[in-house]
Amino acid sequence: MKYVLIFLAFLICPLGCNAYADPATGIHKIKHVIIIMQENRSFDHYFGTYPGAEGIPMKDGVPTVSVFNPLTNQYVKPFHDPNDLNHGAPHRRMDVINSINGGKMDGFLKRFTRMNKLYPNSNNPEIIPDVMGYHDRREIPNYWKYADEFVLQDHMFEPVASWSLPAHLFMVSAWSAKCTSADPMECASDLIDQRPSELKSEGKEPIYAWTDITYLLHKKNINWAYYLDEGAPIEEYGVENEDFKNGGEVPWFWNPLQWFVTVKQNGESDHIKPLSEFFKAAKSRTLPEVIWIVPNYIHSEHPISLVSDGQAFVTNIVNAVMSSTCWNSSAIFISWDDWGGFYDHVIPPSVDENGYGLRVPGLVISPYAKKGYIDHQILSFDAYLKFIEDVFLDGQRLDPKSDGRPDRRPTVREDVGVLGDLSQDFDFNQEPRLPVILSPRPKK
């Protein structure tokens, strides 16, 4: 009789969805890891006033910190910003260094003045520095609701002290490097501060020859997918930066897996798919084990994209997982790839020559996530890889001494002593929690 019941359960839902009684225990109750990577928001900018989190230093409800604005020769305290459209500030390698300013965390508005030189349109008098602005439940109610119901991470740091491309490289490989050939031993650390237009003008495709997580997943027959939010162009946004001419498409520097040597050699380029395939897989109960989801410019929250558009995008994805039979075996991680120039008061830890970068928001959503839990562990995107490795790869690390494909990475990031463990955000002994379906466009 037992085998009949198992057979009938399999007919209802394939193995990947874990809808039937599963003997797995602990972390192995997770069968699907879903990472949603949004753009360019600091922790203080989104959760600086969230109760219980290490947010903006306050006394009697008034910020006790301020930053000098060279445009007005005045100091500016963090302030509530109700605007759906933000501008942020430059956010490349030197912007990280100068914003941190030796630990003073007071260079953010100085870097905004650099934007005036880089982007002439920012001289528009209607564009005021909003890097000291913060949002709260009024502007991002769904993100705050996810924090209420699940887990908020208040010490999640961009893994690299630089911009989007190296952050996305770290997200899938725990390293950012420049390679002279397809030999991983010919790669050296590089924060890739070159403008994308300059890179393209060289007439060369990037070569990412070092070892990424898909290489280990392939060896273990673990299915993965990198879903791209491809959509309509955004001429109506008036974006003149050539990196975002087709805002309805995913910029190439948010989609680096296509140039990894391992992906090509393993014949897995077709694992990079349009987002429509994700929604089909959720409905058909065929979600891969490891998933990354990357927005297009409109949905990314990258200034000048609207905060509300990004929140709606993320909510639709979370709702799709919650509405599927894969919910009971899923862990959803949401973060933002860098700080976007927005103020944050916490000094990033230094772990090696590449990072960490500035603090960004982090959320964990799962039927096994602790309710209303604030995780104070030091984390970075390396922790996502560590979690994937612990769930699916028996703890194998992206370690050149043991992963079967040596490279010259300076640090095995998953084993850095300061890095926290994402399993602490879960209670695998609790009954799977019910979905929390939210409106993508909540009424204010």
DSSP 138-194: TT-HHHHHHHHHSEEEEEEE-SSSS-HHHHHHHHHHS--EEESSS-GGGEEE----S
pLDDT tens digits, one per residue of 160-210: 999 999 999 999 999 999 999 999 999 999 997 655 556 556 667 889 999
Q: Which two tokens stand for residue 149?
A: 């119901």
Q: Which is nearest to 305 in space by CA: 364, 355, 353, 238?
A: 238
Residue-level pLDDT at 238: 41
Question: Do the beta carbons of residue 368 and residue 434 sit within 8 Å?
Answer: no
Secondary element (H or E) of residue 375:
strand 373-375
pLDDT for residue 14? 42
The SS3 assignment for 361 reads strand
pLDDT score at 410: 97
Res 23: pLDDT:
77
Cα 219 to Cα 88, 227, 390, 396: the distances in Å are 42, 21, 15, 11
Count CB neighbours of 308 within 10 A.
18
- The Cβ-side half-sphere exposure at 400, using a 13 Å CA radius, reads 15
Q: What is the pLDDT of residue 2?
A: 40
pLDDT at residue 7, rounded to an integer: 36
What pLDDT is recorded for position 280? 94
> Residue 73 has which token pair?
């020769």
DSSP 355: B
Instruction: Say which DSSP state 56 is in.
Output: S
What percentage of residues in the chain have a pLDDT greater than 90? 77
| Model confidence pLDDT, tens digit, residues 292-311 | 999 999 999 999 899 999 99
Domains of the chain by residue range: 24-45+139-425, 57-134
Q: For residue 208, list its beta bridge partners.
A: 260
CATH architecture of 24-45+139-425: 3-Layer(aba) Sandwich (3.40)
- In this prediction, residue 17 carries a pLDDT of 67
Q: 92 and 76 in contact (C-beta within 8 Å)?
A: no
Query: Which residues in the chain show pLDDT less than 70?
Result: 1-22, 114-128, 193-203, 231-248
Q: Could you give the C-alpha distances from 209 to 46, 221, 296, 402, in angstroms and in order?
A: 36, 21, 26, 17
